[in-house]
Structure 1
Amino acid sequence: MILKIFLTAPLLRSYSQFRQFSVMDETKIIQFIKLCIPPLDGTHHKGQSGRIGVVGGSLEYTGAPYFAGISALKVGADLVHIFCTTPAASVIKSYSPELIVHPLLDATNPINEISPWLERLHVIVIGPGLGRDAKTFQVVSELIKLINYKKIPLVIDADGLYLITENPKLLEDFTSPIILTPNKIEFERLINKLNGETGLTTLGKSVTILRKGEADELFSYDSQLKWKNKTGGSGRRCGGQGDLLSGSIATFLHWSLVSSEKLNIGIQVDKALFASSLSCFAASRLIRTCNSKAFCEKGRSMLATDMFEHIHGAFQELYEE
């Protein structure tokens, strides 16, 4: 598989119009990923390899934030905080003692309650299991504004994408990286709202989009950083796989941003956008490999939980051999 990196000058203002200038093979990109992975040599303190926040979890949906949080931990983050509604909290806690669960989305003053925790977080994932309750959306909208003010990198998935599609202006003026992870239907809904793919650039210069599908495809404000990945995966489309991806992206994004200054790609690019592209590719390859391995074992019976067992092996195979 060839990873294509596209170069244009000046920077294109359209995601769909570009000319190919050169290609970079997958081996090169994986070398960059390896440079970002913190070594397990005893030199890091707890929390340094990633403190991830997940905003999601409602009465109906408790599995999604668990999947996102556990995948972030299993990839290599140290701590994960889940911010959910009260009915979801005890259920999520029962899934795993590894997650720090805060039932604050429906608190009396949710923003005041959540705000002190944001200082501790390296990356925040919004959307898994969030639901579409109007009051929750209002809280999350205010939270996104606060995240923007605090310049925290953001990954948006699932119902978080629905919120952004309804109100794209929430992403205006972001200077920290934002990664959106829509599937085919979510992507079509978004571009319809924005009057076509060319409208994606209006979301802002910090926005990267990973469209999930038979082939994962990355759209970046900087067209030099686009790629497609079809390696791995399977025909099994059980629920939860996107949550594993968003949690994994969050961990890789933190690592890539911390290491961005030492990554010399050989062309002039925005370091944060490059880190976003790199983290999406790292997570895409990892989760698609986990999917393939789990499908070989379980076939039609494969569930997202079966993929967890393969994160360690897939990570070693891709990034530590």
Structure 2
Amino acid sequence: MATTSSTADRDDELSTGSSSPIFVGRADEINQALPALRIGHSILIKGQPGIGKRSLLREVHRQLSQNRICLWPTLATPKQFVAELAEQVHHSIGLSVPERLVPPRFRAVAERTGRIQWKHIHRTLVRQPAQEIIHLVMNSLEGRSDVVLFVESLDVPPSQADMLHQLAEHCQVAAGIEESNRRNKVMRLLWRFQVTIDLKPLIGSESREMVLRHLERSSIEFETEKVRDAFITRIVRESRGIPEAITGMLATAANEREVTRRSLHGFHHDSAISYIDMTPMLLIAAVSLMALRYISRGVGVQELMVLAGVGTSMFSLMLFFARRMSAQGR
């Protein structure tokens, strides 16, 4: 029994708060994403944490939803994901619902009109296994070429990765992924994306524009106009073009009574801090210590052998504490 919603489509506004989110720059990325989606490709937005993957997807969604059916369910839990997905499909194109899932008191109306309200089937539908709901959604998407599924992040558990893999066979997908994501289930999904867009940090003028537009909406007070200019310069410099760092520092400033010359130096954000991967250096150190032990045996220099032994012991101790700290961090 194919049914559609008798109510108006729900508001697809994805912004947070009372005002629309601020979006700056990314013209080249949008000009790459929109044409790709319009010709039937799936796109992958790739970048470091806080770089603005969700903001770009949201802007692409806003522009694309004028002539495409755009779905954006949350990824909180697999059950919530499939429930919201089914609801959005029901409102947009009509969910193919078996008669057994339609409460008896609504079946006659559904058979006569071919329509049923979501609230009449919601309770029975969400009681079904997540995989069965996914199959209902895929049956409803069969044969359509105008549906795009937006996925905020592919940092999902294996069960949801499997669901996305199945859905990608029936619709286009626009998703974000962090550069550090190496999950096996997600890696198997990446071949379905024909276009990958690597997000880079904002340039200085774009960062400055973002700060100025935020300040127009905020109620941040400054000691003097000179302090305000210095504050803008510091935010642009300290953020290193990372949008999340900009919004984070502005949120910190909004919690203060007034930004003064003395408090300027306290504005920084973890998102803008870059870390050096020490793995290659540690590997070289370990190999060097092992080689030193064999060399010392070969040349018969006892001092080198003692030095290599002490170095190997210190290296092992350092690895022990590093693993322990990593386990506690999880």
TM-score band, normalised by shorter chain? under 0.3
TM-score normalized by structure 1? 0.27
TM-score normalized by structure 2? 0.26
Q: Which one has a larger percent helix, Structure 1 or Structure 2? A: 2
Find the structure with the greater CA-based Rg. 2
